[in-house]
Every structure is written in structure tokens, then in C-alpha cells.
Structure 1
Amino acid sequence: MRTVVLTMKASVIEMFLVLLVTGVHSNKETSKKIKRPKFTVPQINCDVKAGKIINPEFIVKCPAGCQDPKFHVYGTDVYASYSSVCGAAVHSGVLDNSGGKVLVRKVAGLSGYKGSYSNGVQSLSLPRWRESFIVLESKPKKGVTYPSALTYSSSKSPAAQAGETTKAYQRPPIPATTAQPVTLMQLLAVTVAVATPTILPRPSPSAASTTSIRRPEPVGHRSQEMDLWSTTTYTSSQNRPGADPGRVPKEELSTQSLEPVSLGDPNCKIDLSFLIDGSTSIGKRRFRIQKQLLAGVAQALDIGPAGPLMGVVQYGDNPATHFNLKTHMNSRDLKTAIEKITQRGGLSNVGRAISFVTKNFFSKANGNRSSAPNVVVVMVDGWPTDKVEEASRLARESGINIFFITIEGAAENEKQYVVEPNFANKAVCRTNGFYSFHVQSWFGLHKTLQPLVKRVCDTDRLACSKTCLNSADIGFIIDGSSSVGTGNFRTVLQFVTNLTKEFEISDTDTRVGAVQYTYEQRLEFGFDQYSSKPDILNAIKRVGYWSGGTSTGAAINFALEQLFKKSKPNKRKLMILITDGRSYDDVRIPAMAAHLKGVITYAIGVAWAAQEELEVIATHPARDHSFFVDEFDNLYQYVPRIIQNICTEFNSQPRN
């Protein structure tokens, strides 16, 4: 009898194991057949504001035509959530006016938002707002599930307002059970139940008694409704006493969540390119020390869309970009990318690398921002194997602030091999020591970290950055006719002096030239004649009164040929013409020629000057570029207004 009982127990256990394995295998086979729904990008209209969408991060498709000014945008790079999502995407350069997909990420509100003109969109300023957002290219973040349907803060979403409804299915109730002692036969019954999958019938839409907008679901978590229909049996956790039949257990939810986004340090908003030395002579150990400095800078700068952005270019025989300004938008990702950089080898062609950065790196496509100064930090082991002076000059004239870090310079017996002596001073923006670091040993390179970060963030001293006051060639066209008189002519020269004092004068900043005219014309001094403000002011004082007739049209033609023809390509060309009477010759054709050549013309008339003639000479719109004053003594009053108009016009145009 005992043998029979043991045999029965063995059979029961064997049956239990077989059925258990069969049930688990059946569950796996069933779950393999389940396919997740395909992600579809929701489309929004141009007028949809980010604040109306509850989702913290989402991808949307914008239509064409969102460049229209009626779709208001507030801020630059980081936008107030009161802004049009698609308008901000166009302003930032992520999209153009033809529309497309864009990734939107909500961030904390700011105490102020600065407006700017970019990509055909004029954004507005805003004192403060409770929530912000940034727009990025629509590259999904790994592990994050983006919503196919957006959740709106209003009672009805645009979809609902259009007549669409979302059916709300309810989970069938599961009766709670009371724990009881389990017998062998009950165990067998439970085993059989587990082994046979129970397929729940999906309720038909007609069975739903209510319709409502879908409840907001956290990004990165699966839909509760989808989880309900992706399982074929209830788990033990769903059947435990007190289980909520309408709730998905935590273990069934993805724990992927959005990471906090750093906006970066707004007090150090720069676009920074590191030119690192990858030449063969540097060796692997010193190359690693170089990367450690880069990682330290990335950490200290607090990289982010509202603060500094950083890219890296390595040079040897030829330069190559490892990543640009928009590749990594936080310090952690940037440090990880720096660690993966490998040495290229070759010579140390620094000049070629600087030319490469000037032409290719600081572009809108690479993340360059019109509101941030451009900075290049060049690291050199020893000395360059090519010349850097000309390439650096072109970089400075493009508004790039060049810093040089030279490590272990040439010894006395090595100086004969240096291609260009004193190369650092020929390259940097200013030779006052602010832009140069010389390190005696690679093992002391880490000491430059803090002073370097402090200097590149001191935007007030980044002298090579383009502004309305340091990026123009200004030509004064001065009426020296008999009707002006000696005393009034000196007043005109004082007016010219007062305007000139407002600008930053140097060979790489604003340059000034002057032409005096009567029936004839005379070049008083050209753009390349004086390179400092004191010299320019002295030259203005020395201009002698000529006296004669008034041929303004001929004077404009003369200035175009003798003065502006020698203007640098990267300079804004400003012509400021002062006259006291009607011209004896036609001004229309010369003025049109100036406008076609990109010369921005300001016309200032005094006393008997003809208003309609001033408006013809002036760049459109004439109200911003032409001024009339009754008396010479009142000219000084227009200096602030002219400067303001020059700067307003400059700031409204995209830089680079």
C-alpha cells in the first residue's frame, strides 16, 4: 500500500511539472506574437503653444508656413512655453518654413527671455514665464517611448474639437480571493488552470458606455490599455487579496524616465571650438593629458542650450571635426565623447586647422548661435608646422576670438626649425596676454583649466566678437560746399567725431574713411590708413574746408570706387552722408548703385537740404536712415539715434 501511495505521489508531481512547463511555454509563445503598435508622429498646427501640451517630451510634425509673424515666439534658444512650438523650431533653425518633425523638451521657466531675429522669425522678449522648452532635431532618445497622441491642458484637445473621440475601455473586474489552506487536489486544479491559457475577449467599442479624452500617460511608460491586451493570463499579483483590478502592477511598467535637463550657465553663453593637437610628435600619454583638460573644461563650463556649447576639432596633417556645437548638449555626454577621441597623427598644421574652423565650424547647421560669441582655443605641442598669421587674421575678422595654449615651446637649439616665430601673438585676438597661455610642461597643463574657463566666459573682453560697434567699414561723405561755411564745417566735423567715438576702432574692428566733396571729390583718408581711435580722431580734425558747389551724386560714385571698393568682404558697409543743400546732379542712379552693392546709406540733411532727395539716397526704410535738422548746431542731438538705428539693424540680422 505504501508503495502505491508513493507511486501516486510521484505521478502527481511528474504531472504537475509537465503541466507547469507546458503552461509557461504556451505563455511565451503567445507573448511572442504580440506586436507593439507602430509609433506615429502627431501633427500640430503652427499656432499650438508648448504650454498647451502636458507631455514633458514629445515629437511632433509641423506644417509649412510657420515663419509667419502671427505665430508668436518668446526667447532665443530656450523659449517660453507661451511660444508657438513650430515658430520656435523655425527660429532656432531646427526646421525651415517648409515644416517637418521636431523634438520638444520641457525645461524649467526662466526669469527672462531675450528676443532676437533668426531664420526669418523675430522672437519677442518676455520678463519671466513659469515653463520653458527647447527644440531639437527629431531623433528619439533611446529607451524613451514618445506619445502618438498628445495630451492637452484644455478640456478638449484639437482632435476632440474636430469631432474625434477616444474610447475608454475598462478592465473587467477580477474578484478578490480569500486565502485558504491548499490541498493536493486544489493544487492540481490550479496547475491545470495555469496550464490552459485564458484569453480575455476584447470589449467592442459599442460596449463602452462612456467616451472621454485619454488620460495623460507618462513618457517612457507603456499604456495601461496596451498592457491589458498584451497578456493572456492574469498574474498572481493581480489575483492577490486587495489587488486593484484597474491598475497595472509596477513590475509591468518600464522604469525609463526622462533625465533632468541642464540649460547650462547663462553667464557664459559662448560657442566654443577646441582645436586639439593630434600630431604624431605629441605621443599617446600627452594626448591623453590633453583630453583630460578638455573633459575638465566641459565639466567646469556647465554645457547647455542656454549657456556654453562646445565642439572639438583635431588637427594633424588635416583637420577633422569630432563633434560640433549641437552634438552634445550637456557636460556629461560631452565628457563621454571626449574620452572616445583617438589620436590621428601627422604634422602640426595649425594654420590649416584655423582656416577649416573659420570656413566650416561656426555655421548654423553646426549649431552656431547668432547670440553667442565664437571662441576657438588652439592647443599646440611645441610649434606649428605651417604659418598661422593669415589664417588667424581671417578668423579674427570673421568675429572669432582665438586663444592659444602652447606647451613645451622650442628650446634655443630648436628655434631654427620654427616656421613662424612669435606665432601665438600673430594669431590671438589681442597681444595683451589675455588670449595666450604658455605651459612649460605637459604635467602643468591642468593649471590652465580655471583661468581658461574664466577668460572664455568673460564675454565683455572677447574683443573679436562681432557687434554693431566693431564690425563695420564706415565712410563719411561730407559736403564741403560754399553754403556750409567754415564755422559750420567745423561743427560737421565735430558731429563726425562724436559718431566715430562710439565705435571700436582697429584694423580688425570698425574702420573709418572720409570723402569731402563740392563739384569735385577728395579722399581725405581711406579705411586702411589709420587703425586706432586716436589716430582717426586726429585725422578728422585735420580735414580742411574746401568750398565749392554741391554734386552729391558724383560724390556717392566717387566713394563707391575710391573708398568702399577697398572694404573687406566680411565688414558691414555704412555710408553716412551729410549735406546742407540740393544736389546739382542726379542722385538716384548713384544711390541705387550703392544699395545694390550692399552699402547701407544714412543721409543727414541740414538747413536747405531737400527731404525727398535724402529719402532717395537713404537705404530703405527711409524713416530709419534719413534725418533732417534745421540748424548745424543741432546735429549732435542725432548721434544717439543714429547709433541706435545702426545697432538695431545689425542685431536684427543673422550673424555669420
Structure 2
Amino acid sequence: MSLIPENPCKGVPLDFIFVIDSSRSIRPNDYEKVKTFIINLLQFLGVGPDATRVGLLQYGSEVQNEFSLNTYSTRAEVEQAVRNMEHLATGTMTGLAIQYTMETAFTEAKGARPVSLHIPRIAMVVTDGRPQDSVEVIAAQARQAGIQIFAIGVGRVDMKTLRAIGSEPHSEHVYLVANFSQMETLISVFQSKLCSDMCEVVDHQCQHICVSTPASYRCKCKKGYVLNLDGKTCSKVECGEGVVDLVFVIDGSKSLGSANFERVKQFVKAIVDSLDISRTGTHVGLLQYSTKVRTEFTLSRFATAQDIKQAVGRMQYMGRGSMTGSALRHMFEYSFSAKEGARANTPRVSIVFTDGRSQDDVSEWANKAKNAGITIYAVGVGKAIEQELREIASEPDDKHLYYGEDFDKMGEIANKLKTRICKEMCQCENVMRFQKQVTEKLKNLAQSNILP
């Protein structure tokens, strides 16, 4: 007797990728049960180029892409491809598979639709054992890149590992069953999640707009507002039309740690959300530094906040020394050059983040940058040195220096910094508008022969 409904649900279109453990610990008959589970799950998905697109990769010691999001256009073709899969029976490189999912499977070249279309990106990871590589950091990066991950464990899988993989809330995204036969009990669970309009069935508490995603939802703000760090309420963007060239200089040293580096990414995204980013609006660039300096993206690279946040989510943590002075030199000499997208007559601002003492001098290049008209905000956390922060920051200190004892203070700092930058953008806009008006009046007077 089939547990599957005759008609597909009317859920939103998805870009859906199965990430299947094909390690040697899975017995041949259990491998067939995984195939059956996938085929049954497909029955309530409306598969098609303009509906849900399905891809699948399996992994052992290596990743094997069975088919991409743009390979097949009907459910029947996908089902046949699943039946034709062959068991790899090798290792368990789950982290490698998640990395492939993020960096390759969900690219437009492989059939993922543009981020601007807001098609939910879903990855369903099915595994029966402990990974032979690290999953925590790469799974966090995948989630930050906008991939919603369901983690299904079978048998003796460590629940901690599943939670490190799956999206939050874990109660909606992480599942553990005793054996492969019990996977079928999850079909009705996923039918409910993938077919429901979550905004209609939960108390979402979104202040402005609720947007449903499978098993979850996200809050969105009306134009002219930004989402606060609570993910629910919205704040009006004052001076939304202010224009600056902004370069982040981000410490990626070993003392930070990969988990805190993810929190720094969130900090950057919060600032980006408060800005009016476009080709004619604010431009953003970003450097990461450790022992060396790396340009993650230049001022001219992206023209939307969404693209910038995606790039921030993909950043790889450097994790070595802390050469803040070198980073300041790079920012001064290259980041604000015309070649990298800096514009004439546009205010230049840099936000420098660090969590500890620099291994080189910061004062020389900070002073050169400030003397060249670059406004620098210094943000320090934890063991950051106050004297160094003062040397980096523009004056007055109380408007350009921010410090938190630990990373829990990052949200508070982000809110204060957004307000301060906004106010200064307003002042810059007003000054530039006044200068333009004066220039035009002088020009008119000259044309009227009132001035010599």
C-alpha cells in the first residue's frame, strides 16, 4: 500500500539537491531502500524547469555527481536516474560533499536559478555514519550562503554531527531513524514541510512581510526599511540615499577561530543591509587579512546587497597571523584606487575589524589613509588593544572607535555603527549638495556678468 499522495503538492518551486552517503558501511539492500525513499519523496514534488528542479550527488571517499539541477526536466527521468545509481562503497567524506553542493551543485552553470529570483535552495543530506572529515565549518558556510539543509541520520549517527549539518531550528531540519526501513516514516513529515505555507500555519511575528520556505520562513521588510538582528522587526533606513565607497578590512587571524569568523560575517552582512547599494548608490569592497592580505571583492565587483552578502558567506577563513598594518597599507594603496572601483567625489569609508594585537605597526598606514580623506571606523573585540584601535580610528574616538568584550557584543556594535555611518553619510550628502548648489549659483552669476 502506497503512502504517497496521487497529486503533487502546490508548494513553491525549489532547487532541491539530494546529498547521499554511499559509503561501504551501507549494505546493498539498505542502499536500495535509500533509492526507494528518494523516489517516494519525488512523488509530491512538481518536477520541471519552471517548477522544482532536482539534482543528486552521492559520496564516499570522493563526490560523484549523478545529475545536476538542469539535467532532467521530468519526474520520470529523475526517477530512472535514481534507479540506475550504483553503490560507491568507499569512505565517508561528508564535509567534502557539502562543499561540492555549495560551490558547484548550486551554481547557475549547474542549473540553480539566480539568487535574485528567491527560489529556495534545499539540500537533503542522508548519512549512516561518522564523517571522516570536518563538517561544522563547511556546513555553516553553506547555510550562510542561503542553502537550507535537512540532515537525516540512520542508525548510529552522532546527533551532534547531524545538528552541525542541519539548518535551524533543528527540530524542523534534523532527523534520526533507527534503520533504513524506518526512513519511509519520514515521507509524510517531509510532505507536510515541503507543501505547507509556513507563514499561514505558524505565529511568525514578522513586523512587515513573511516569506515561506520549506519547513521554515523568513521575515522581510518593506522598501526603505532593514531587518533587525532579531530577524523579525524592521527599522527605517535614515539617509537611505546616502552614497559612499565602503571597504571592510577584516581580521582573519588564528586567534579568531572559525566559529567567531562566521559571527564576523554576520556583522558585515548587518552593516550591508543598512546601506543603499546599487550601481549609482553605495559600493562595498572587502579585504581579509592574516599573515597576508587577500582582496575578497573590490568596490566595483557587486551592485546589489544580496550579491555582496552571498560573497561574504562564501569567504574562506585564513586562520594565521595578524598583520593589521599590512592590511591598512593595502586598503590605502589599492582598495580605493580607480582601478578597483573607487569613484571621484564620493566619500571613502573603511571599517577595520580586529580581535587582537597586530604583529606590525598600524599607525603609519592608518595616518596616511586618514590624511588622504578616508574615514576609518575601528572595531575591536576581546583582546584587541585600545591604543592600536585609537591609532587606526578617525577622530573623534567616541564616534569612530567601537569595542566589545566578547563576540556577543557584535550585534550591539553593528547597530551603533549603522546609526553612526548613516548620520555621517547624511552630513556628507548635505555638504556635497550645498557645495554643488554654491558652484551652480557662482556659475549662474558669472554667466549673468555679475561676477568678473
Bin for the TM-score computed over the shorter chain: 0.3 to 0.5
Higher radius of gyration, 1 or 2:
1
Q: Higher helix fraction: Structure 1 or Structure 2?
A: 2
**TM-score (ref. length: structure 1):** 0.34
Question: RCO greater where, 1 or 2, for CA within 8 Å and sep 6 or more?
Answer: 2
**TM-score (ref. length: structure 2):** 0.48
